[in-house]
Amino acid sequence: MRTLLVEDDARLAELVGEALRRHGWLVDVVGSCADAYAALRSADYRVMVLDLGLPDGDGISLVRGLRMVGDPLPILILTARGRVAERIAGLNAGADDYVVKPCAAAELHARMRALTRRAAGAASPTLRLGPLEYDQSSRMASVNGAALRLTLRPSMVLETLLLARGRFVPRATIENALSNFEGGPESGAIEVYVNRLRKALEAAAPDVRIENQRGFGYRIVHAATGADS
């Protein structure tokens, strides 16, 4: 999943970004409020991790600005400011979570996953469709309890389709989910990843299928109902 990390300390941004990438996140890093706004205009993110002490303003103002225009993006503040009053101010401004540095990478990953689950309306980290199960925390898929072997990008395509709950997902949305500032899938790669996923499902769960419709994109359905179930 794609996240925006707003951190002006280059070394810390590198460490946090690399830790998140090891947990499977696609991370774009910016170092100011202005760059954060520019990034948000150019791409869709599942969550933002935000430092408060930025060179062109306080991160709290960025949170307030996004909430004033009705942007529902999950925001996790990651800062060295740990006083109770500061935490309250961050949450009251509209942040969804507040974490004081230093923070273990595994905890940060878990908190970000919890935010994206809530935003998607999924209380559990496990997404289900007929006999198919997908654990968002481990990125492991299974059919009737047997592991479904997928490489990273087909697995991310599966997650994106399952989160759509039977709705068509535009190709551009899938491309965005697999992209970051360092580059995204090459032209035609989305079809390759979808086909790999489709073949894996055909072999293990023939009643779960991926449909595509020109102009609408892709969706995943369970043949028993023709929709997500």
What pLDDT digit, counting tens, does each position of 1-23 carry? 789 999 999 999 999 999 999 88
Q: Which residue has the tokens 């303003």?
A: 57
Percentage of residues in the chain with pLDDT exceeding 90? Answer: 60
Q: What is the mean pLDDT of the chain?
A: 88
pTM, entire model: 0.70
The pLDDT, as a whole number, for residue 42 is 86
Average pLDDT over residues 39-61: 92
Strand 132-135, strand 140-143: pairing = antiparallel
Least confident interval from 55-59, 115-119, 176-180, 219-223: 176-180
Res. 219: pLDDT tops 60: yes
For helices 10-22 and 105-120, the axis angle rounded to 10 degrees is 70
Residue 2 in tokens: 């794609």
The pLDDT, as a whole number, for residue 14 is 94
pLDDT band at 202 (very low <50, low <70, confident <90, very high): very high
Residue 57 in tokens: 């303003």
Percentage of residues in the chain with pLDDT exceeding 70? Answer: 92
Res. 176: pLDDT tops 90: no
Q: What distance in Å separates the CA atoms of residue 69 and residue 155, rounded to the nearest whole number?
A: 33
The pLDDT, as a whole number, for residue 139 is 82
Q: Max Cα separation, the chain?
A: 55
Strand 126-129, strand 132-135: pairing = antiparallel
pLDDT band at 126 (very low <50, low <70, confident <90, very high): confident
Average pLDDT over residues 83-95: 94
Average pLDDT over residues 100-129: 84
pLDDT band at 184 (very low <50, low <70, confident <90, very high): low
pLDDT band at 229 (very low <50, low <70, confident <90, very high): very low
Q: Are 118 and 74 in contact (CB under 8 A)?
A: yes
Res. 168: pLDDT tops 90: yes
